[in-house]
Structure 1
Amino acid sequence: MSYDLLISRITERLKALGMSERKACLTADVGLNSIRHIRVRGHAPKPETLAKLANVLEVPASYFLEAAAEGHEKSKDPIEPNKNHFAAVEKVYVKGFVQAGTWQDALEWPMTDWMSIYIPPDPRYMNVARFGLEVRGDSMNKVYPEGSIVIAVRLDDLGRLPRNGERVVVLSRCTNGNSAMEATIKKYQIDTQGRHILWPESTDPLYQTPIILDDRAKSLGIDGHDADHGASCDIEIYAVVIGSYRPE
């Protein structure tokens, strides 16, 4: 397996702290060759090992765990469920939330607040980074009840535009001098007139007005008119929703 991102992050921290691999392993109370085995042999690291190393190298555990999960996803090796390493599920980090009418400074929480969930591998996106978002409120409750976790992929990582009928993560920044943004989920459609429309799917009358993007939206992520707010907003279609998870 290839853990290039993980090794680069570990190396970065070692250099920043002026610490050798051996000293880091010794201080973390893990095997003295733990880092070398990842770097040279491509061994799958145990999560507890990475958490200990992260503590010694003064970063959140998620900084190493996320990189390890990405390295595992990019591997072409078959997953053997009886092997004592990552199981036949994949870790995805829930990095933020979406909620209509709620303004926030950034889509992602600080890394220390990320939550991990485990989901089945998705063969459609084996080499693409995925992330989770918590759904709050009722603006998409026909599809995603409050508390659902949606799994998404950034459009930049996919290298394509959204497709008709896909549900997408939409970021809105209104031109009122406020730098805050709203993150929501909408269904992307192109109607018979060629208009790009973002539809809520809600039982709540407050969240049933679509966002109709203007002609410039053919390049997407440009200007639109959000009738829910009655203001001119910059609309960015940020990611495509590829799945969802509902905790019991």
Structure 2
Amino acid sequence: MLEDPYKKWVIENLEKPGMSQTGLAKVLGVHPSAVNKIVSGKRGLKSHEVALAATYFGEAAPSSELTPYNGALSVIPIIGTVEAGAFREVDDFDQSEPRTLTLPRDDRFPNARQIGFDVSGDSMNDLKPRPILAGDCAVCVAYEDVAGQVVLRDGMVVVVERTRDSGHFREWSVKQIEIYADRTEFHPRSTNPKHKPIVVHRNFEADDGVKVEVIALVRRIVNEMPGF
């Protein structure tokens, strides 16, 4: 999961007298398990929840790292690989420095974290009007940073996280959204018939019980020519 810049603030305040995960959950309008995920680092505090948490704690939130970037370029970390069907073990202790790209900032979402994913596989090789191919890099904004201003809708291309075995294994993949009255479907766009959509009902549980979450909006695709 993406690191929550307010995690330490939440933990420290929950240790104060009169504060509890149940009380914070009630203020945020979420199940107490969601607060437990914030504390354990499995879920970020969403942008619209920061003010609610500050009211509950009775103090202003600390300055976030999510400040507008006034320069022409942003340094974007490549945090992992998107590949449909590839569940990888989550290494909570990986402290290695990620590769980075330096690209123009995203003026549409200047306060959101920009993150990149290496693309592997052929699950989006038939996306229109531009396919996403193995070797590309998907440059995204973290969805939890813009969830309060962006509603998921048909046609959006997103990075979906599926987790299993209590979060020990996860799959990151690029999908295109199709929204129906009772469900949301995340579709591959591929010439390879082995790739199937992820079907999620309103409780955001996949049909097979695997946890599903949109973690990023794909904003651009970049590639570098080999041999340099």
TM range (shorter): 0.5 to 0.7
Identify the residue that residue 137 of structure 2 maps to in structure 1: 149
Identify the residue that residue 217 of structure 2 maps to in structure 1: 240
Read off the aligned partner of 2:89 and give its amino acid letter. D
SS of the residue corresponding to residue 85 of structure 2 reads coil
Following superposition, the deviation at residue 183 of structure 1 comes to 1.0
Which structure ranks higher in relative contact order (CA pairs < 8 Å, sequence separation ≥ 6)? 2
Q: What pairs up with 1:201-212 in 2 under 5 angstroms?
A: 201-207=189-195, 209-212=196-199
Q: 2:175 aligns with which of 183, 186, 190?
A: 186
Q: Retained in 1: the 8 A contact 2:182–2:201? A: no
Q: What pairs up with 1:28-47 in 2 under 5 angstroms?
A: none
Q: Retained in 2: the 8 A contact 1:162–1:240? A: no
Q: CA 1:75–1:233 in 2, change beyond 3 Å: closer, same or farther?
A: closer
CA distance in 2, matches of 1:147, 1:131: 16
CA RMSD of aligned residues (A): 2.7
Q: Retained in 2: the 8 A contact 1:165–1:188? A: yes
SS of the residue corresponding to residue 137 of structure 1 reads coil
Read off the aligned partner of 2:68 and give its amino acid letter. K
Identify the residue that residue 195 of structure 1 maps to in structure 2: 183
Q: CA 1:112–1:197 in 2, change beyond 3 Å: closer, same or farther?
A: same
Which structure's residues are more often helix, by fraction? 1
Structure number with larger C-alpha Rg: 1
Q: 1:159 aligns with which of 136, 143, 147?
A: 147
Identify the residue that residue 223 of structure 1 maps to in structure 2: 205
CA distance in 1, matches of 2:136, 2:91: 17
Following superposition, the deviation at residue 148 of structure 1 comes to 0.6
CA distance in 2, matches of 1:178, 1:75: 33
Following superposition, the deviation at residue 137 of structure 1 comes to 0.9
TM norm structure 2:
0.60
Stretches of structure 1 lacking an aligned partner (at least 5 in a row): 6-69, 80-87, 217-221, 226-230
CA distance in 1, matches of 2:162, 2:173: 8
**Deviating 4+ runs (over 4 angstroms):** none
1:103 has 2:87 as partner:
yes
Following superposition, the deviation at residue 112 of structure 1 comes to 2.4
CA distance in 2, matches of 1:128, 1:181: 23
Identify the residue that residue 117 of structure 2 maps to in structure 1: 133
TM norm structure 1:
0.56
Stretches of structure 2 lacking an aligned partner (at least 5 in a row): 6-64
Which digits, 9 at most, give the CA deviation of each residue in 1:133-189, with x for residues without a partner? 001111112221001101112221113342321111111124x66721111111012
Q: 1:172 aligns with which of 144, 162, 178?
A: 162
How many residues get paired? Answer: 156
Q: Retained in 2: the 8 A contact 1:96–1:108? A: no
**Percentage of matched positions with identical amino acids:** 24
Read off the aligned partner of 2:106 and give its amino acid letter. D
Read off the aligned partner of 1:224 and give its amino acid letter. A
